Amino acid sequence: MKKTAALSKTTTERVTPAYRIARDAYAKLGVDTEAAIQRALRIPISLHCWQADDVRGLETPVGGVDSGGIMATGSHPGRARNGDEMRADLDLVLRLLPGEQRLNLHAFYAETDGKPVDRDEQTPANFARWIDWAKARKIGLDFNPTYFAHPKAASGYTLSHADKAVREFWIQHGRASRKIAQHIAKELGKPCVNNHWIPDGAKDNPADRWGPRQRLVESYDAIFAGRGIDRKLCVDAVEGKLFGLGSEDYVVGSQEFYSSYAQSRGLVLCLDLGHYHPTESVADKVSALMQFHPKVLLHTSRPMRWDSDHVVLLDDAVRSLFLEIARGDAFDRVYVALDFFDASINRIGAYVVGARATRQAILLGLLDPTARLKAAENAGAGHEKLAIMELGKTLPWGAVWDELCRRADVPEGADWLADVARYEKSVLAARA
């Protein structure tokens, strides 16, 4: 939404004293803060539409069945109740965020004017309002088939279901999603990431772990078969998971399954920070997986004791993930998206906190004195490497972040809270 031009001499001369001090401190370690700011602003972050309405969707009447372990908890007033309210909320969010943004849509946010359109029959026309909105704001859209919250997902199985008729329904939905994603890309002139995640799994100790995975391979192969889809426009991704509500013991689409499937089929692998054991480091995985996967999709989320999709904060997991991406100079090989839902707090505030934390982590990765650290390590100066790493933790990166916000013409610090408070009083309160 916001374009970042090259900095003029006038712009750099008007920097704040705090930023000037920070810029000089980083320069001593060989870090160019000007380059870091510009690159951090250019990296797209895909906002997830489902925070605005607590993952309820806009379908009537075919969907709306709770299933798939998707649950937003809380009852803060002001939930968006229709597409127009969602888009109005997102307009405010976009005005408060620095850098390039996109929007991530799930298929059950189709708008059908009250007419029942089941998911295997969805067409691009059902998302025309979203496309027009994105086109007017000059942002890209991403997409997700919705393999949950539907009567045919009530058993906990979709693409791996034992019933061929159920599988065929979801295969048709997956195919429809690819056509929609390709249409979105053509309309907006930007590739559309189409991410496939299914809830399939068992609550307790299944007797057959082989059959569902074999059926899942067959179903996905049927979805991704040719059929006139340009993969440069529709960028298909697949997302694994360790466990979830109703699938605590067994998840059909595990990390091992999807890593192998994506690599063998030329798809993008999605890594969600909440889809692993609490002691696993997703940051450590990227340098291993990206030796074999040309690109990955990253979902920033925050699990709390389980995959509970809390609002993203600038915690160690998020910081470490983007630090590793920066150290591998791999930002052009990743797609960045948010995935959380919290109905207990102001939803717009949740968006801004999570999106800003994600971009802050990106900036921090770009501010890392990687060249200096690698030189010390290669020279066998382990003490110097550790000393510079520790020094990096104390550098005034906050002043660089404030400068980034200033140049993007968005509120610095916590100044954005006033905008959210005004909107809650004037708009959200009327929805209660």
**pLDDT attached to residue 414:** 96
At 155-173, the pLDDT tens digits run 999 999 999 999 999 999 9
Residue 431 has pLDDT above 80, yes or no: yes
- Within a domain: 394: no
The angle, 0 to 180 degrees and rounded to 10, between the axes of the packed helices 210-224 and 164-188 is: 40
Residues above pLDDT 90, as percent of the chain: 90
Task: Say yes or no to pLDDT of 332 above 90.
Answer: yes
Residues 6+ apart with CB under 8 A from 188: 131, 134, 135, 139, 140, 141
Of residues 344, 266, 271, the one with CA closest to residue 301: 271
Q: What is the DSSP string of 320-334?
A: HHHHHHHHTT-GGGE
Coil, helix or strand at residue 417: helix
Q: Which range marks the domain in which residue 324 is found? A: 45-363
Contact in structure between 363 and 397 (CB atoms under 8 Å): yes
Q: What mean pLDDT, rounded, does the chain reach?
A: 94
Provide the CB-side half-sphere exposure for 396 (13 A, CA).
14
* Residue 190 included in any domain: yes
> Average pLDDT, stretch 97-101?
98
Domain assignment present for 239: yes
| Partners of residue 142 on adjacent β-strands | 104
Instruction: Write down the residue that tokens 């389980």 correspond to.
Output: 306
Q: What CATH number does the domain containing 96 carry?
A: 3.20.20.150
Q: What is the pLDDT of residue 146?
A: 98
Q: What is the mean pLDDT of residues 115-137?
A: 97
Question: Crossing angle for the helix pair 347-366 and 416-426, nearest 10 degrees?
Answer: 160
Angle between helices 83-95 and 128-137 (to 10 degrees): 20
Task: Indicate whether 3 pLDDT > 60.
Answer: no
Q: What is the pLDDT of residue 8?
A: 39
Overall number of domains in the chain: 1
Residues 272-317 have pLDDT tens digits of 999 999 889 999 999 999 999 999 999 999 999 888 899 999 999 9
**Dihedral pair phi/psi, residue 64, rounded to 5°:** 85, 10
pLDDT recorded at residue 2? 45
Contacts of 351 (CB under 8 A, 6+ apart): 47, 51, 52, 90, 93, 338
Asked if pLDDT for residue 69 goes beyond 70, the answer is no
Model pLDDT for residues 382-421, shown as the tens digit of each residue? 999 999 999 999 999 999 999 999 999 999 999 999 999 9
pLDDT at res. 10? 40
Least reliable range by pLDDT among 49-63, 126-140, 197-211, 222-236:
49-63
Ranges of H-type helices in 28-76? 33-42
pTM, two decimal places: 0.95
Residue 378, C-beta contacts closer than 8 angstroms, at least 6 positions apart: none
pLDDT of residue 13: 59
- For residue 312, the one-letter residue type is V
pLDDT at 66: 61
17: pLDDT strictly greater than 60:
yes
Per-residue model confidence (pLDDT) at position 227? 77
Written as six digits, the tokens of 181 are: 């994603």
pLDDT-above-70 percentage for the chain: 95
Q: What's the rounded Cα separation, in Å, for the pair 58 and 244?
A: 24
Q: Is residue 245 part of a domain?
A: yes
Greater confidence, 14 or 347? 347
Confidence at residue 4, expressed as pLDDT on a 0 to 100 scale: 43
Q: Give the pLDDT confidence of 344-391 residue by residue, as tens digits.
A: 999 999 999 999 999 999 999 999 999 999 999 999 999 999 999 999
CB atoms within 10 A of CB 2: 17
Residue 100 lies in a domain: yes
How much is the pLDDT for 244? 86
Determine contact, residues 396/25, Cβ cutoff 8 Å.
Answer: yes
Peptide bond into 17 cis (omega under 30): no
In a domain, 383, yes or no: no
- Residue 7: pLDDT over 60: no
Dihedrals φ, ψ of 41, to 5°? -75, -25
Q: Catalytic residue numbers?
A: 197, 239, 241, 272, 275, 299, 307, 309, 339
Taking a C-beta distance cutoff of 8 angstroms, is the pair 271, 282 a contact? Answer: yes
Task: Reply yes or no on whether the pLDDT at 5 is more than 50.
Answer: no
- Give the whole-angstrom CA distance, residue 370 versus residue 169: 49
Q: Would you say residue 10 lies in a domain?
A: no
User: Looking at the domain assignment, is residue 102 inside a domain?
Assistant: yes
Is pLDDT at 246 greater than 50 in this prediction? yes
